A and B are shown apart, each in its own frame.
Chain A
Amino acid sequence: MNFELTETRQMLQDSLRRFLSDRYTTEVRNKIIDSDAGLSTEIWDQLAELGVIGALFTEEQGGFGGAGFDVTTVFEELGRAGVVEPLLDTAILGGGLIAALGDADQQSLVERVIAGDLHLAFAHSEPGGRYDLNHVATSVTAEDGGVTLTGRKAVVANAEAAEILVVSARESGEAGDEDGISLFLVPRDAAGVSVRGYPLLAGGRAAEVDLDQVSLPESARLGAPGAAYSAIAERVSAASVALAAEALGAMETATELTRGYLLTRQQFGRPIGTFQVLQHRMADLWIELEQARSAVINAAGHLEGDARMRDLNVAAARNLIGRAGRLVAEDTIQMHGGIAMTQEYELAHIAKRIVMSDHRFGDTDHHLEQFIALSA
Chain B
Amino acid sequence: MDLSYNADELAFRDEVRAFLEEKLPKEMSDAVREGRSLGKDGHDRWHAILNEQGWLAPNWPREFGGCEWNAVQRHIFEEECCRAHAPRIVPFGLTMLGPVLQKFGSKAQQDYYLPRILSGEDWWCQGYSEPGAGSDLASLKTKAVRDGDHYVVNGQKTWTTLGQYANWIFCLVRTDPDAKQQEGISFLLIDMDTPGIEVRPIILLDGTHEVNEVWFTDVRVPVENLVGEENKGWTYAKYLLTHERTNIAGVGFSQAGLDAVKRMARAEMSGGRPLIENPHFAARLARAEIDLMAMATTNLRIISRAASGQAPGVESSMLKVKGTIIRQEINDLARRAAGIYAMPFASEAVEGGNEPPIGPEGADHVGAQYFNNRKLSIFGGSNEIQRNIIAKVKLGGGA
Contacts and interface: CB of A to CB of B under 8 A. Distances in A.
B371 A352 contact: yes
A369 B343 contact: no
Nearest to B372: A341
B180 to A, nearest CB: 13
Nearest to A132: B271
A343 B135 contact: no
Nearest to B270: A130
Nearest to B268: A130
Contacts of A130: 268-270, 275, 339-340
A201 B344 contact: yes
The range of chain A's interface size is 35 or more
A272 B373 CA distance: 23
Nearest to A343: B203
A294 interface: no
Contact of B383 (A206, A334, A360): A334
A338 B378 contact: yes
A199 B349 CA distance: 12
A256 interface: no
B281 interface: yes
B205 A348 contact: yes
Interface string A255-294: 0000000000011110000010110000000000000000
Nearest to A278: B384
B370 A355 contact: yes
Contacts of A365: 278, 280-281, 284, 336
Contact of B375 (A206, A277, A341): A341
B382 interface: yes
Interface residues of B, number: 53
Nearest to B280: A365
A277 B204 contact: no
Contacts of B64: none
Given A267-B135, A268-B135, A326-B332, A342 B204 contact: yes
Nearest to A334: B377
Interface in B94-120: none
A365 B268 CA distance: 15
Interface in A190-207: 196, 198-202, 206
A131 B340 CA distance: 8
A267 B134 contact: yes
Contacts of B374: 330, 333-334, 340-341
A368 B268 CA distance: 19
B136 interface: yes
Interface in B259-305: 268-272, 275, 278, 280-281, 284
A341 B281 contact: no
Contact of A201 (B269, B343, B360): B343
A351 interface: yes
Given A275-B384, A334-B383, A200 B134 contact: no
A325 B361 CA distance: 27
Contacts of B382: 334, 337
A328 to B, nearest CB: 13
A337 B374 CA distance: 9
B93 interface: no
B366 to A, nearest CB: 10
B340 A359 contact: yes
Q: Which of A127, A128, A196, A201 has the most CB of B within 10 A?
A: A201
B61 to A, nearest CB: 34
B245 interface: no
B204 A155 contact: no
A208 B340 contact: no
A267 B131 CA distance: 11
Interface of A: 125, 127-132, 154-155, 176, 196, 198-202, 206, 208, 266-269, 275, 277-278, 326, 330, 333-334, 337-338, 340-344, 348-349, 351-352, 355-356, 359-360, 363, 365-366, 368-369
Nearest 6 Cβ contacts at the A-B interface: A348-B205, A267-B136, A365-B280, A201-B345, A343-B203, A155-B340
12 contacts: A130-B270, A132-B270, A268-B135, A268-B139, A333-B378, A334-B374, A337-B134, A348-B371, A359-B340, A359-B342, A359-B343, A369-B271
